[in-house]
Amino acid sequence: MLNRVLWIALAIIGLAIPIAADPTFFGPSGLIVIPTAESLEYQQFNLSYDFRGTSTAQQGYYKFNMGMFKNVELGIIGGATPTEGVFINMKYFLISDASRYPMSFAVGLQNLASKSDTGLYLVMSKKFQGGLSAHLGFNTFISDQIDPTLMGGIEYIVNDHMSFLADFSGKQKTYTLNGGLRFAIYPDLSMRVNILDVGKDTANGGSYYSVGLSYNRFM
């Protein structure tokens, strides 16, 4: 199933057009699972649906993000995941300077109203010449105890149509590594294919994949 999805993704790259900001696996705009210090512009929104699965189970869920104010992104995530209901995400970002490759910073909240997965994060992002960007930050889950973890990732933009992504994140001292491909297929429509928890052995559930579509535009 995964091989078939990857072949379909590669087959339609030739029809792609410039990529736009996409949500992460957990909602806010960013890489695969981690948010970045980049955000939707004012009155820009994206609506997305993701399908994820393993060899034994599949789930679908939806996300909506919008640039509500200058430098502020608000969003929701719901569906089969999270099982507790609809959660709210919020991000505030700023750019450190006006150079060609500026460093930006963001602070945000994820999964507001969750009993165990509400998170507060701080992340910085830096673009480099040649299409590479790097991201590094901290995420703290707020439940019965504070659980601070490191997160980071990179994105390599191959051209105006396609990029490769990799990131890592942790929870309760357990870290996961993820890899993905993102590209555009129609105006305002982009697709992403990810493999999450790369390297996890089958005895502990194994890696799983996600395939998603995102519709991006201005109001």
Domains of the chain: 2-218 (2.40.160.40)
Asked whether the predicted pLDDT for residue 16 surpasses 60, the reply is no
Are residues 32 and 178 in contact, defined by beta-carbon separation less than 8 angstroms?
yes
The average confidence (pLDDT) of the chain is 84
pLDDT bracket for residue 81 (50, 70, 90): low
Asked whether the predicted pLDDT for residue 15 surpasses 50, the reply is no
Percent of the chain exceeding pLDDT 90 equals 49
Looking at residue 36, its amino acid is T
Segment 132-138 mean pLDDT = 96
Task: Specify the pLDDT at position 48.
Answer: 94
**Cα–Cα distance measured from residue 219 to residue 46, given in angstroms and rounded to the nearest whole number:** 10
**Cα–Cα distance measured from residue 151 to residue 186, given in angstroms and rounded to the nearest whole number:** 31
Asked whether the predicted pLDDT for residue 70 surpasses 80, the reply is yes
| N-terminal to C-terminal alpha carbon distance within the chain | 37
Higher pLDDT, 155 or 204: 155
Asked whether the predicted pLDDT for residue 38 surpasses 60, the reply is yes
**Cα–Cα distance measured from residue 113 to residue 87, given in angstroms and rounded to the nearest whole number:** 6
Name 150's Cβ contacts closer than 8 Å, sequence gap at least 6.
136, 137, 138, 139, 170, 175
Task: Specify the pLDDT at position 203.
Answer: 53
